[in-house]
Amino acid sequence: MNSQQEYVLHAVEDRDVNFIRLWFTDIFGQLKSVMMSPSELEGAFDEGVGFDGSSIEGFSRVSESDTLLLPDPSTFQIMPFDEDEPELRTARMFCDVIMPDGNPSMADPRQILRRQVNVAAQEGFTCQASPEIEFYVLKQAGEGAPATDLVPTDNGGYFDQASHNDVPKFRRQAMRALESVGIATEFSHHETAPGQQEIDLRNADVLAMADNVMSFRYLIKNVAQRSDVRATFMPKPFQQYAGSAMHTHFSLFEGDSNAFHDPDDEFSLSDTARHFIAGILAHAHEISAVTNQWVNSYKRLQFGNEAPTAVTWGVSNRSALVRVPTYRLDKENSRRVEVRSLDSAANPYLAYAAVLAAGLKGIREEYELVEPAEDDVTSLTRRERRAMGYRDLPMSLDDALHEFERSEFMAEVLGEHVFEFFLRSKWNEWRAYTQQITAWELRSTMEL
């Protein structure tokens, strides 16, 4: 029993915790949970908690169904919302999924990210990540309206104190809930569209940040539910409004030194940072199916609205795929790169693993970085982008899957099992989508 495990056992007893939630995610980033009694916790630390892996799509075959959850004591947090009912006080821990022989499950997204974290460590780096998470807060369109007929809760725009807001305390309540479970926030504000919000998380180790993103989604939805509204991380829920991104800032450190910082460079960017950016650009098409994994993701990417449409990088250029912020150029710890393609519905473990792996490959093989884009790339036509040498990002999940399917790089990052299952499942999603006869088709062609 190590010191972290002992701390958890004492905290559970001292704080009168009555239930423990063991959290893990499936391959698509859906949160899964097993509830247990505190009396079972010591055994869970020693031996893990068994569950039927074949019941989680893509985890294991029926013949290999015995799977274990191993709680990570460093992720222990007491959950909010039970202040008025102490007999229901609950804590949670994220888990690693392991096999009976003690080896990591090849289907565990958390382990896939940890592999890239270990690769970075072998090359002398630790990775920090800081996401800006956008989402919509919605309400039913009116009394008696279908549950799926939703409209924004306010009519605000960028940084507005919305003139009409059905949940005026929402962001404050959300930030309080996040801070209560140890997720440090930096800023929050109203985004560009009615009902759209953004909360930015303070940088942390990339694996811890992926855990934080999963907790973020759970807590935001709970805060919304308690206000009789709904929160959605759908990439583009409204045709007329901007989509929801998860712009994420990445930096690599060598010990306490920021490996991306060079005080003698015009933009304070080191060669390491330039190679990292070049790696992301070189593999952008291959990783798109993971950073933007849903059919709906490409409704956001295809039509701009501050979403990148082409493989570019730029300095302070919010139309680029990778942006280099220029705040405090002389401050070493501020040097970072912002990847703007990720959307809020991505599996953070797989998406961060793909970005980190691409950047590390760029460093390892010393990819050359092209000149930065100075144009508003999203305002250019496709022909203009081609003329300027910009490659368009995939315009649909179909396009992205073709790139993903022939990528040896992504097969290596995800492992053969997850790569094959992800590809097969996403092709099924695309086929189900294209089989639909939409309302637009009926309106426009029924009279033919």
Annotated binding site: 132, 134, 186, 191, 198, 247, 249-251, 300, 306, 318, 338, 340
CA pair distance 177, 254, nearest whole angstrom: 33
3 state SS of 170: helix
Q: Bridge partners of 338?
A: 249, 323
Cβ atoms within 10 Å, residue 64: 13
Give the long-range contacts of residues 168-174, CB within 8 A, separation 24 or more.
Answer: 170/137, 170/197, 170/223, 170/224, 170/227, 170/229, 171/197, 171/199, 173/223, 173/226, 173/227, 174/199, 174/219, 174/220, 174/223
- Going by C-alpha positions, the residue among 137, 136, 195 that lies closest to residue 162 is 195
Grouping H, G, I as helix, E, B as strand and the rest as coil, residue 366 is coil
Half-sphere exposure of 188 (CA within 13 A, CB side): 18
Residue ranges for the binding site for Mg(2+)? 132, 134, 191, 198, 247, 338
DSSP assignment of 113-136, as one string?
Answer: HHHHHHHHHHTT-EEEEEEEEEEE
What 3-state DSSP class applies to 325?
A: coil
Bind-site residues for ATP: 186, 249-251, 318
Helix 206-226 / helix 348-364 crossing angle, nearest 10 deg: 150
- Tell me which residue of 193, 205, 57 sits closest to 117, measured CA to CA: 205
Annotated binding site for L-glutamate: 300, 306, 318, 340
What type of residue is 82?
D
Q: Find tokens 């950016």 and name the residue.
A: 277
